[in-house]
């Protein structure tokens, strides 16, 4: 995808993909107020509350995690008929399809119980995304830029409907609450994202640094479990809330219920993220391990 001046015609801002992550939901409602804070740009700006039933129930999802329903195989599988599978197809019809999306850029707003600060999870390593992330990373020291294992449109997340855009993942915050500080920072990131796109759209790009630190996910680590799948240890107190900090071979990783440490057995230093995310207990993820790269935006 090559971008020409003025080529971003439509930006979608999405909240409530997970119904108990209130920050994104209230951000969307705030953007929908009169007077419209998102008028006056060189592109159309649309908002979406992605999972209305889950929002009403104050739950992450009703039948299945909506943010894992956007894989190509699932989107084209008409036999999948539960609530989120049908919803994903409706959203793909509005914002997609993946090969020619109606929304040129998708920004999906999330929160985490992990200490993710102000994380920008890139939809792909497209130069547009790297430039946008480089700009955002100048705004606040808590901004960090990540790529998932699948940092492209093959991923099953909502953001994968377009190659351009990102998930904004703020934390640490419990599910089902608002935190004024993180709410305000999310507003700032949305506003600055739109400002950046607008400036680039008008061939007046805002200044960005020459190097961009990106945390590239390598793998995920599950909790130690017994043969029945029951958790046998917690995140070690020394690792709790230490997202993005180096974890070195021999560092404590887990803490058993009887008070024993389990150490990191890897061979080199990694940077864990999504440490102790509530929604990932059921996915078998205690944390994701990343490596630190410097890319040229």
Residues within the annotated binding site for substrate? 60, 67-68, 169, 280
User: Is 183 a residue that touches its own copies (CB under 8 A)?
Assistant: yes
User: Is 26 a residue that touches its own copies (CB under 8 A)?
Assistant: yes
Question: Residue count at the site for its own copies (CB under 8 A)?
Answer: 34
Which CB, 9 or 191, lies closer to its own copies? 191
* Sheet of 212-221, strand order: 44-49, 10-15, 105-111, 164-171, 117-122, 143-147, 212-221, 287-295, 271-273
User: Which one of 3, 10, 30, 63 is in contact with its own copies (CB under 8 A)?
Assistant: 30
Which CB, 40 or 281, lies closer to its own copies? 281
Contact 114, 274 (CB under 8 A): yes
Residue that is written with structure tokens 């180096």 in the block: 246
Angle 73-153-130 (CA atoms, 0-180°, nearest 5)?
Answer: 170
CB of 240 to its own copies, least distance (A): 6
CB-neighbour burial class of residue 206 (10 A; exposed 0-12, middle 13-18, buried 19+): middle
Closest-CA residue to 287 (of 184, 204, 217, 237): 217
Catalytic residue among 169, 192, 200, 277: 169
Which CB, 58 or 296, lies closer to its own copies? 58
CB of 164 to its own copies, least distance (A): 28
Task: Calculate the CA dihedral of residues 20, 69, 85, 114 and round it to 10 degrees.
Answer: -10
Residues 200-259 within binding reach of its own copies (CB under 8 A): 231, 234-237, 240, 255, 257-259
Q: Is 169 considered catalytic here?
A: yes
Quote the tokens at residue 216: 């590239």
Which CB, 47 or 137, lies closer to its own copies? 47
User: Is 291 a residue that touches its own copies (CB under 8 A)?
Assistant: no
What is the C-alpha radius of gyration for the chain, rounded to an integer number of angstroms? 19
Q: List residues with catalytic annotation.
A: 169
- Which chain residues interact with its own copies by CB under 8 A? 26, 29-30, 58-59, 113, 172-181, 183-184, 231, 234-237, 240, 255, 257-259, 276-279, 281-282
């Amino acid at each position: 995808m090559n971008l020409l001046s003025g080529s971003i015609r439509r930006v979608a801002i999405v909240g409530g993909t997970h119904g108990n992550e209130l920050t994104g939901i209230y951000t969307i409602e705030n953007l929908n107020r009169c007077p419209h804070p998102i008028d006056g740009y060189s592109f159309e700006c649309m908002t979406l509350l992605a999972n209305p039933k889950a929002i009403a129930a104050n739950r992450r999802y009703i039948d299945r995690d909506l943010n894992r329903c956007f894989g190509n195989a699932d989107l084209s599988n008409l036999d999948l008929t539960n609530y989120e599978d049908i919803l994903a197809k409706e959203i793909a019809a509005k914002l997609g399809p993946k090969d020619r999306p109606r929304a040129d850029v998708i920004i999906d707003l999330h929160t985490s119980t992990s200490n993710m600060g102000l994380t920008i999870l890139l939809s792909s390593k497209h130069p547009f995304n790297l430039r946008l992330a480089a700009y955002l990373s100048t705004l606040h020291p808590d901004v960090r830029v990540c790529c998932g294992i699948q940092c492209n449109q093959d991923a099953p997340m909502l953001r994968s409907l377009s190659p351009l855009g990102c998930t904004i993942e703020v934390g640490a915050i419990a599910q089902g609450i608002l935190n004024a500080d993180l709410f305000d920072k999310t507003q700032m990131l949305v506003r600055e994202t739109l400002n950046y796109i607008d400036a680039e759209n008008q061939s007046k790009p805002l200044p960005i640094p020459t190097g961009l630190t990106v945390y590239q996910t390598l793998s995920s680590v599950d909790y130690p479990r017994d043969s029945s799948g029951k958790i046998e240890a917690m995140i070690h107190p020394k690792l709790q809330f230490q997202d993005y900090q180096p974890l070195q071979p021999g560092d404590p990783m887990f803490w058993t219920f009887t008070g024993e440490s389990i150490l990191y057995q890897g061979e080199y230093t990694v940077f864990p993220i999504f440490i102790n995310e509530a929604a990932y207990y059921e996915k078998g993820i205690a944390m994701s391990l990343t490596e630190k790269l410097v890319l040229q935006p």
